[in-house]
Amino acid sequence: MPFLKCQFFKPNKVLQIRKVSTSVLPELPECKHIPSAYTGPDYEILAKAHGTTISPSLKPFYKKPLLIHEGRGQWLWDHEGNRFLDMFGGIATVSVGHSHPKVVAAATEQMQKLGHTTTIYMHPRYLEYAEKLTAKLPGDLKVAYLVNSGSEATELALLMARLYTGNNEIISLKNSYHGGTLTASTTTGLSTFRHPIYRPGGHIHVMNPDVYLGPWGGSRCRDSPIPPGGRKCDCEPNECSACEKYFSEFLDTFKFSLPRDGNIAAFIAESIQGIGGAVQYPKSYLSKVASHVKRKGGLFIADEVQTGFGRTGEHFWGFEAHGIQPDIVTMAKGIGNGFPLGAVVTTMKIANSLNKAAHFNTFGGNPVACATASAVLDVIEEEKLKENSLEVGTYLLHRLSTLMVEFPNVIGDVRGKGLMIGVELVNDPETKKPLESQHMTDIFEDIKEMGVLLGKGGLYANVLRLKPPMCVTKKDADFTVETIEAALRRHQDRIVSAEPVYVGVP
């Protein structure tokens, strides 16, 4: 069953064949980069290490996990030379493309000069980057504290909010993800990431305003080129009834779950939920919530770990589409194009709250991290990657929406904005019951075998997540859609072939 694999030449290796299906399959877009030959440990040695030397909790994707060897732009190669279109970007982390030459050069140059010094000394890279980063943010958001990850950023933001307000309660949405450390995972509203241990108090999860799966929502409720699957809108012009109903549920939290005065430390939310499955809210929901929280003495924390740095296309930050002025912004992932880095940006008044005790971060603001992140900002501007996210992302969303017509019994919803996209697969379009995990796994495997790497999200891992490097093209979008289409056809064929045949008795 021949299928042409990555068409490039390698030392001692010419055109290779990937075995999949005899049906006509999409052809990988051209790639001129020639990867080096893999010379690392045998695949079997590395596979065995997972669960022994490497923690068994770190579970790779796929039945036969990929051994990734090299990356360039939107492309990845495994140890055998198979080429894959990376439409997941290391979980929305590779923002400007794998091994971008300008980013690599900046990191290399800085490493050769000074690899590390912590904040007990000054170095120019921290200031250079902090000024460049805060120039991208509105209002008084001009003080940057650099950390190593999104989880650390969440921890620090919550600490600041509690210190500044003198209140303890943190409100977040169900289905949200804010990190894997203890406090961050307590704020996270997904049971998938909550271990059965004692957790610190002061964390409340409220109803997720999901206009597709939730009780309210319609075709005009969310800020996406594609309306919620199968839902009509009963909203009046300039008024979203779904928003009002979800906001009413939010207010109930202040009536029943908070101290009588209703004061809280903070409300934290992603602009579009990432690991939750690219879930979007009614357009004015976050702005109404933020206003109420501030009236109650709390802060609004915008989690831009996945939506920041131009990924949503229209704006540099996801919160800008909601018309919000946050008090604190957390960021990570795309900030360093894969280099371990996170940041918390806030006002001077809030930042000063940390002076109530000693606080520092050994690796936060590392010179190499700052040089890398500074180069990332330059590339986003020079290559107009925010604009590319909007153009290619909108094109991709519209193309994916055509599959809803072709596969109405499998695709329940296509949503997102820019290159922050989710495709929800269902077992029943009426009940919106998630597609069974075995079917989901088979589709996911088929997409990989045809050369595209995606993510999975949502509580039941039934949402295909597309968050590629922002350098992807419309040809890449076409190939992705054609690949998903081919995988769904295979899924339908499997369903048909598994159905029993009944022979009538005359």
Residue 291 belongs to domain with CATH number: 3.40.640.10
Q: Is residue 6 part of a domain?
A: no
Global pTM reads 0.92
Instruction: Answer for the pair 165, 298: CB distance below 8 angstroms, yes or no.
Output: yes
CB count, 10 Å around CB of 351?
Answer: 18
pLDDT in tens, 257-271: 988 777 899 999 999
Higher pLDDT, 1 or 280: 280
- Quote the tokens at residue 488: 């769904």
Q: What pLDDT is stored for residue 504 in this prediction?
A: 56
Task: Say how far apart CA 300 and CA 265 lie, in whole Å.
Answer: 9
Q: Is the pLDDT of residue 115 over 80?
A: yes
**Which pLDDT tens digit goes with each residue over 469-486?**
999 999 999 999 999 999
Question: What local confidence, expressed as pLDDT, does residue 14 receive?
Answer: 28
Percent of the chain with pLDDT over 90: 83
Residue 143 lies in a domain: yes
pLDDT tens-digit profile of 414-458?
Answer: 999 999 999 999 999 999 999 999 999 999 999 999 999 999 999
Q: Quick one: pLDDT at residue 237?
A: 75
pLDDT at 68 over 60: yes
Tell me the pLDDT of the chain averaged across its residues: 92
The answer to whether residue 422 is domain-embedded is no
**Greatest C-alpha distance within the chain:** 91
- Is residue 1 one of the residues assigned to a domain? no
Q: What is the pLDDT of residue 421?
A: 98
- Convert 225-256 to b/e letters by CB count within 10 Å (16 or more is b): bbbbbebebebeeeebbbbebbbeebeebbee
pLDDT, mean of residues 25-42: 94
- Residue 107: per-residue pLDDT: 98
Residue written as token pair 């590319």: 388
Dump pLDDT digits (tens) for 158-197.
Answer: 999 999 999 999 999 999 999 999 999 999 999 999 999 9
**pLDDT at residue number 501:** 56
Taking CA 483 as the corner, what is the angle to CA 446 and CA 96, rounded to the nearest 5 degrees?
A: 105
Number of H helices, E strands in the chain: 13, 16
Provide the percentage of residues in the chain whose pLDDT is more than 70: 94
Q: Is the pLDDT of residue 497 over 90?
A: no
d(CA 47, CA 51): 9
Residue in 294, 310, 313 with CA at minimum distance from that of residue 417: 313
Residues 406-421: what's their mean pLDDT?
Answer: 97
Res 315 pLDDT > 90: yes
Cβ(5)–Cβ(16) below 8 Å: yes
- Band of pLDDT at residue 3, cut at 50, 70 and 90: very low
Number of domains in the chain: 1
pLDDT of residue 190: 95
Domain span including residue 303: 101-382
CA distance 136 to 317: 9
The predicted pLDDT at position 16 comes to 34
Is there a contact between 71 and 86 (Cβ–Cβ < 8 Å)?
yes
Which ranges of 364-502 would DSSP assign to H, the alpha helix? 367-382, 385-406, 437-449, 474-498
What is the band of 10 on the pLDDT scale with cuts at 50, 70, 90?
Answer: very low
Q: How far apart are CA 335 and CA 307, in angstroms?
A: 11
pLDDT of residue 136: 98
Q: What average pLDDT does the segment 491-500 reach?
A: 84
Is residue 317 a part of any domain in this protein?
Answer: yes
Q: How high is the pLDDT of residue 502? A: 58
Q: Which residue has the tokens 């203890």?
A: 182
Note whether residue 346 is domain-resident: yes
Mean pLDDT on 105-121 = 95
What band does 495 get if pLDDT is binned at 50, 70 and 90?
confident
CA-CA distance, 401 to 395, in Å (whole number)?
A: 10
Residue 334 has pLDDT above 50, yes or no: yes
